[in-house]
Every structure is written in C-alpha cells, then in structure tokens.
Amino acid sequence: MFKKKVTAFTLAALMAVSLAGCGSGGGDAAEVEGKAEAAAPAKKVVIKYWYAYGDKIEEAKLHMVKTFNESQDKYEVVAEHQGKYDDLHAKVQAAFAAGNAPAVTDLEIASTGVFANSGMLEELTPYVEKDKDQVKLDDFIPGLMGNAYVNGKLYGLPFMRSTPIMYKNVTMLKDAGLDPAGPKTWQELEEYSRVLKAKGKFGMTVPVDIWFYEALVAQSGGQMLSEDGKKAAFNEAPGVAAVEFWKKLSSEGLIKMPVGDEAGATADKDWANQISAFKFGSTAGVAESLEIAQGNGFELQTAFMPANKDYGVPTGGCQLVMTSKSKPEEKEAAWEFIKWMTSKENTIYQHKHVGYLPTRTSAVESEELQEHFKQYPQYKVAVDQLQYARPRPMENAYPEVADILGDAIEKAIIDPKTTPQDALNEAAEKANKLLGK
C-alpha cells in the first residue's frame, strides 16, 4: 500500500513536469521525483507486543500502547491478547521456535529463568547502560527486582507487579461483632472464622493456589526450595505447617477450599456474594474489588496476609522482556517501548487504573499517588507489605514442580487418611528428580 502511494505521487509529479516543459521549455523531472520521494514519510518500524489477561488489566495496557504510538512517529506497536500467563508463555515459545515471536512480551516472573536459560530473551544490561540516566534502574523498588536477573544478567524490567493481599468485607465483620482491623495472625484468622461460622458464614474461601501457599511458607520462616535450587524444601516443618493449618480450618468448616479449574472463580464469587468475609487475591484486583463491594452494598478494606512467625509474601505479576531473535531495528523499537511502559508516569497510571504495584520509588513518593493513597488506602497496603516480600523460585523445573505440589496439597486436604507430611514428602521426591536434572 505504501509503495503504491509513492508511485502514484511520483507519476503525478512527472506528468506535471512534462506539461510544464511543453509550456516553458524547462524543468528537471529527476529533481522533482527526488523531492517527492524525500517528502514521503519514513516507514515506521512495526513490532508485536503480546500480553496476558483482559478486563481492566487489558484496558490499561491498550491505553498505554495507544499513547506510545501517538507519542512518536518512528515506531508502531501492535498489541495482541494471548490469554492467561500459561497460554501466553506456550504461544511465545511456539512462535519463537517458528521464527515469528513478538519483539516484546509480558513474562510472569517465575518463568524468567526458563526463558532466559533457553536463549529466548535478550539481555537488557547494554540497553540500560546506554540509557542509564533515562531508565534510572535504581528507581525501581528493590523488592521487585529479584526476578529480573538470571545468573547475574538483567532480562526484564518490572511492569505490572503484585503481591497477594487479604481482602476484608468490613460490613460482615461489624455485623458479626468482630473488630474490622483484624485478623493479623493465623490464630486470629481461626478465631474470626469460628465466630463467622456461628453466623452461617465462612471465614474465607481459598483455592489451593501455590502463590498463596508460598506466602504461608514464608510466614512460617521456610523456603520452597533449597538455596541452590536443587532440592525441595517445602516438605520441611514450615511447609507442612501451612498445609496442616489449611486442612484443620477446612475440615472444621471454618474455611472453604474448592478444587479444580474453577476454584479461584468460586473464591471470588463467595466473597462477592458475602458467603465468605475474606479472600486472598492479587493487589491487581483492588480496583475491580472496590467496584464489586460498592455494587453489592458492603465496605471493603485490604490488609497484609496474616502472619504466623512473621509476615511474608511472594511477589508476582509480570515484567516486560525482549525476545532475542528480532531484527536490530525491531530491538531498538522494543527497547523504546519497554522504557515507555515502565516509566514513572505509566506505573502511576496502571496502579490507579488497576491496582498493580507502583514499581518505582519516585512514583510511590509522588504527590499524585500520596493523595491517591489518602483517598483510597486499599491501594497502599500492598506497597507497605513489600518490606516482607521475596522473589519466586525461577528454576527451570519449578512450573512443573508447582503442579505436582498443588495436587499433593489438594490430596492432603481432601483425603482424611493422607497427612500433610506424607503428601509433601511424596511431592518432594518427584520434585527432586526434576530439580536435580
């Protein structure tokens, strides 16, 4: 289409020159053609950006892509939705093998090691060093940088990042005579749940989500894997304590633990319909949860996940990465886009629009967000909780280990004859074979 337009314009210019030559006996067709081609706009470098999740998350991403495209005339980003993280990752891997991977993609942080070690990601250190005054790497909140590096090399910049937090239906708590400030510990969560059970409610509906389980292990002072990542550690005392706690509360009807593909959706529905007073969820759900609470006529507050020995949460969400087989001009475009999307202004925008963590210290300290936190304190909880955050394991085998572990936890909770220790030991034995490769 572009070439046809240039050709038509050039022909029109040549005809004008020819006619002018007939009337005046002068004119240089070659000179006019050169000017016409010089006046034509330079062709934009077009790159693909693949992203995960819809609704308000998608709205925010598409808005930022649109503003990037409108901010300059050198590059154009085509954004394409690819489902949830698992769907996105599988599609990127397939596209990379086929030689048509997107130049930029969301990458869930625990998968950074797998992608980097397989050679699929471009190392970003040279790009950051070239634009260090613009990027300001030290401005990113330290607690969010743990999953950005693999073997000491930088492969991603924090984008839509999160931690799990606790969502509280304050109206239900007040109606039950409970202090809406709590519960702050596992013991208090059990106590609150007993009072709510007497009122015909559940304390919480919670799926067997490895992200939440990682939090409970951290709260108990444990680790998911050994320091070198070669062996499972979740079957040690802290990991066992987490499953024992869930099993106790579930077996006594204090909390509800659905299983299967719809478990997460069930937890959200129970909380929205005021069947359960609490839910664990990503900070990315703050904006949507506030809308649900308002629509269903109850007050929402957020809080740290309850502590056991201490508070503790894994970080989550995604970072933006550049694939390694793009053309040089596409990598240049990808880098400009990544810088744009992770800027102070855009992290403020996406935090306010969705609830994901502001990734930069300058954003947290900005007058705009400080005022926002005063008006909506529900957004600030995850920022404050970052002091207790830790990175997720990034071993190549961890996604498969997580699936094995999830099945083991479900079995321990559902089957009265299976103890948490036995279930976790069996999962650890399987995990060690994968981690030791």
Q: What is the CATH number of the domain that holds 337?
A: 3.40.190.10
SS3 358: coil
Who's near 252: CB < 8 A, 6+ residues apart? none
Within this chain, do residues 310 and 332 fall inside the same structural domain, yes or no?
no
Within this chain, do residues 193 and 300 fall inside the same structural domain, yes or no?
yes
The rounded distance, in Å, linking the Cα atoms of 156 and 133 is 18
DSSP string covering 65-88:
HHHHHHH-SSEEEEEEE--SHHHH
Mean pLDDT of the chain: 91
Other CB atoms closer than 10 Å to residue 93's CB: what's the count? 16
Within this chain, do residues 194 and 235 fall inside the same structural domain, yes or no?
yes
Q: What is the pLDDT of residue 11?
A: 31
**Average pLDDT value for residue range 205-209:** 97
| Residues 324, 399, 425: CA angle, nearest 5 degrees | 150
The rounded distance, in Å, linking the Cα atoms of 432 and 230 is 7
The rounded distance, in Å, linking the Cα atoms of 308 and 306 is 7
Within this chain, do residues 404 and 348 fall inside the same structural domain, yes or no?
no
| Residues 397, 398, 403: CA angle, nearest 5 degrees | 105
Residue 23 has pLDDT above 50, yes or no: no
Burial (CB count within 10 angstroms: exposed 0-12, middle 13-18, buried 19+), residue 367: exposed
CB-CB contact of 339 with 333 (8 Å): no
Within this chain, do residues 107 and 7 fall inside the same structural domain, yes or no?
no
Within this chain, do residues 205 and 310 fall inside the same structural domain, yes or no?
yes
List the single range of 40-44, 213-217, 300-304 with lowest mean pLDDT.
Answer: 40-44
Within this chain, do residues 245 and 297 fall inside the same structural domain, yes or no?
yes
Within a domain: 10: yes
Q: What is the pLDDT of residue 41?
A: 61
Tokens of 203: 């304390």
Q: What is the pLDDT of residues 91-129, one digit of tens each?
A: 999 999 999 999 999 999 999 999 999 999 999 999 999
Residue 146 has pLDDT above 60, yes or no: yes
Within this chain, do residues 237 and 305 fall inside the same structural domain, yes or no?
yes
Per-residue confidence band for 386, with pLDDT thresholds at 50, 70 and 90: very high
Q: What is the pLDDT of residue 18?
A: 36
Within a domain: 369: no
Q: Helix-strand-coil percent breakdown of the chain, rounded to 5?
A: 55, 15, 30
The number of helix segments (H) and strand segments (E) in the chain equals 20, 14
Residue reference for tokens 């020995």: 309
Q: 391: part of which helix (H) or strand (E)? A: none
Within a domain: 201: yes
Tokens of 106: 């969301």
Within a domain: 371: no
Per-residue confidence band for 261, with pLDDT thresholds at 50, 70 and 90: confident
The rounded distance, in Å, linking the Cα atoms of 120 and 142 is 25
Q: What is the pLDDT of residues 263-294, one digit of tens each?
A: 999 999 999 999 999 999 999 999 999 999 99
Q: What is the pLDDT of residue 10?
A: 36
**Average pLDDT value for residue range 46-75:** 96
Instruction: Please list the residues that pair with 164 across neighbouring strands.
Output: 282
CB-CB contact of 314 with 45 (8 Å): no
**Average pLDDT value for residue range 188-216:** 98
**Average pLDDT value for residue range 11-34:** 41
SS3 415: coil
Within this chain, do residues 127 and 173 fall inside the same structural domain, yes or no?
no
The rounded distance, in Å, linking the Cα atoms of 263 and 261 is 6
Model pTM score: 0.86
The rounded distance, in Å, linking the Cα atoms of 187 and 203 is 12
Q: What is the pLDDT of residue 42?
A: 75
Higher pLDDT, 354 or 18: 354
Within this chain, do residues 286 and 191 fall inside the same structural domain, yes or no?
yes
Within a domain: 85: yes
Within a domain: 278: yes
Within this chain, do residues 232 and 297 fall inside the same structural domain, yes or no?
yes
How many domains is the chain built from? 3
Who's near 143: CB < 8 A, 6+ residues apart? 315, 386, 387, 389
Within a domain: 175: yes
Provide the CB-side half-sphere exposure for 286 (13 A, CA).
27
Within a domain: 419: yes
Domain that holds residue 25: 2-39
Who's near 224: CB < 8 A, 6+ residues apart? 214, 217, 232, 233, 234, 239, 393
Burial (CB count within 10 angstroms: exposed 0-12, middle 13-18, buried 19+), residue 63: middle
In terms of Cα–Cα distance, which of 391, 387, 382 is closest to 162?
382
Within this chain, do residues 181 and 284 fall inside the same structural domain, yes or no?
yes
List the single range of 36-50, 157-171, 175-189, 320-334 with lowest mean pLDDT.
Answer: 36-50
Who's near 176: CB < 8 A, 6+ residues apart? 195, 196, 199, 201, 277
